[in-house]
Amino acid sequence: MTDIAQITDSHCHLDFPDFDGELDQVIARAAEAGVTRMVSICTRLRHEPQVRAIAEAHAPVFYAAATHPMSVAEEPMASVDQLVALAQHPKMVGIGESGLDYHYTSDSAAAQRESLRIHCAAAHLTGLPLIIHARDADDDMAAILAEEHRNGAFSCVMHCFSSSEALGLAALDLGFYLSMSGIATFPKSQELRDIFAKAPIDRILVETDSPYLAPPPHRGKRNEPAFSALTAKVGAEVFGLDYADFAARTQANFDRLFSKAAAWSPEGVA
């Protein structure tokens, strides 16, 4: 199926138990849909070996690692040195997901802010993009990202972007990227689609956040990387492009932001 436009699922969670025993089939279905690469996100650093092993075993899979903001209260605080050391692996291509979540875990807000600053510093030192989770914390998120970027520039993607237009503009002003997930395809998400439509096309990625947030017609069921093609189809409509053009633009965006993944070659890898 070489005529299918290629895209990248820039954010999924292939180590989650939802995919146990099915990874080969999941990755094969992704390829059939034109999803030729995916970034699996480690949300607790103690799980990094398992996530790394998936990337090592499957050529299309890359990975990122961090302490998710909702896990900060339960996990040891990450260190910059720890993240920098992990980033030496050839298939670790991002720092994340980090961020702030005041919706479910506002009681750990102070620790989340400390963790976010550590991850920002690691992104600066490694040159890898920071992957941000933001929920109900727009003002603090915008302020911390701007301050830390002044302290030491880094690249960044606002993963599964569904925040306010103000936070979106603040991120774009810093040179960051916005990622479209299945949320952007939901019927009641017109306001979010309008925010994306105002963004530069060269700052847009697509993702699943699978196993969560499946787009129609799979909403309410397990999401998987193949379904990022459904989100990309809606993205093409939002930007008034045909699917192949939108796919090509988002591929170029991914390659620019995740340059380590773009440069990776399986040649010589054991």
User: Which residues carry a binding-site annotation for a divalent metal cation?
Assistant: 11, 13, 97, 133, 159, 209
State the DSSP string of the chain: -TTSPPEEEEEE-TTSGGGTTTHHHHHHHHHHTTEEEEEEEESSGGGHHHHHHHHHH-TTEEEEE---GGGTTTSPPP-HHHHHHHTTSTTEEEEEEEEEETTT-GGGHHHHHHHHHHHHHHHHHH-PPEEEEEES-HHHHHHHHHHHHHHS---EEETT--S-HHHHHHHHHTT-EEEE-GGGGSTT-HHHHHHHHTS-GGGEEE---BTS-PPTTSTTS---GGGHHHHHHHHHHHTT--HHHHHHHHHHHHHHHTHHHHH---TT--
Which positions make up the binding site? 11, 13, 97, 133, 159, 209
Torsion of CA 48, 87, 210, 145, to 10 degrees: 120
Tell me, rounded to whole angstroms, the distance of Cα 168 from its chain centroid: 15
* Edge-to-edge strands, sheet with 156-158: 7-12, 35-42, 61-65, 92-101, 130-135, 156-158, 177-180, 204-206
Cis peptide, bond prior to residue 216, ω within 30 of zero: no
